[in-house]
Amino acid sequence: MTQGVAAAGPSAPSGGGRKRVVVLDYGSGNVHSAVKALAKAGAEVELTRDPRAVAEADGLLVPGVGAFDAVMRQLREVRGDELIDRRLAGGRPVLGICVGEQVMFERGVERGIETEGLGQWPGTVRKLEADVLPHMGWNTVEAPENSVLFRGIAEERFYFVHSYAATEWTIEGRGESTRPVVTWAEHGERFIAAVENGPLSATQFHPEKSGEAGIQLLRNWISTL
């Protein structure tokens, strides 16, 4: 089912009008807060799984809450895995959030269940080694100076809700211009908080729940579309 949401945020990105962003509607929860946050950040937003709309949008946001295996199952049921892969193959920007970030890795292991992910990045998502789980609440991040997502907000705090994460990064890139930008955070151990890798970006935290800093991160992403 397609739901269009057209709204202009107070700070629309520059460059000739609002950018069109599709939020992938595959059954994940919390999609409406993502839609509202993107609209506030200045995008023209549509919540849909329509293949043509997904392919033609300036940006695609992949939300995700719950278990890794459940999200992968829901994505495959609507052929979301194929839609994401086609966009990335064509250099079309995609942003994953929370479990929408986790499924970009090769696999996830939760409660003894190993599930194949989308395989855009090597690595395994696993349970964090921490005294208190879930990791729920505000936390700082360690963003590189060349990060676009965290431009102007590297010192801010962001809202996390998770018990699992990727804790290793192995892709280096061939040169400075193609090297992925990896942002880290810590809860019990260091884990990947965000990645910027060509057309594919993702955050383990929830920008849509992170106040003005989260809205600014979405503005930063929209400005690259």
Residue 70, φ and ψ in degrees, nearest 5: -70, -40
Residue 159, classified by CB atoms within 10 Å of its CB into exposed (0-12), middle (13-18) or buried (19+), is middle
Instruction: Quote the radius of gyration of the chain (alpha carbons, Å).
Output: 16
| CATH topology (fold) of 3-222 | Rossmann fold (3.40.50)
CA distances from 176 to 27, 172, 179, 191 (A): 38, 9, 5, 22
Of 110, 156, 196, 208, the catalytic one is 208
* 179-211 burial: b if 16+ Cβ within 10 Å, else e: ebbbbbbebeeebbbbbbbebbbbbbbbbbbbe
The Cα-based distances of 22 to 6, 48, 50, 144 in angstroms read 11, 7, 10, 28
Structure tokens at 74: 């829901």
pLDDT of residue 172: 79
Q: Which of 135, 162, 187, 206 is catalytic?
A: 206
β-strand partners of 59: 21
Cis peptide before 134 (omega within 30 of 0): yes
Measured at the CA of 99, the angle between CA 204 and CA 208, to 5 degrees, comes to 60
The DSSP element (H or E) to which 77 belongs, if any, is helix 68-77
Spot the catalytic one: 98, 135, 156, 187.
98
The per-residue pLDDT for 178 is 75
pLDDT confidence of residue 16? 56
Task: Give the mean pLDDT per block of 10 residues along the chain (225 residues).
Answer: 38 63 91 96 98 98 95 97 98 98 98 96 98 98 98 98 97 75 98 98 98 98 98
Amino acid identity of 71? V
CB 75 within 8 A of CB 50: no
208 is catalytic: yes
Distant-in-sequence, close-in-space partners of 216: CB < 8 Å, separation ≥ 6: 41, 152, 153
Can you give the pLDDT at residue 4? 40
pLDDT of residue 81: 98
Q: How much is the pLDDT for 8?
A: 36
Q: Alpha-carbon distance 198 to 113, whole Å?
A: 30
212 is catalytic: no
Could you give the CA distance from residue 40 to residue 131 in angstroms, rounded to a whole number?
36
Q: Is 135 a catalytic residue?
A: no
Measured from the Cβ of residue 69, the count of other Cβ atoms closer than 10 Å reads: 18
Sign of the alpha-carbon torsion through 53, 120, 161, 67? positive
What is the pLDDT, as a whole number, of residue 29?
76
Domain ranges (residues) in the chain: 3-222
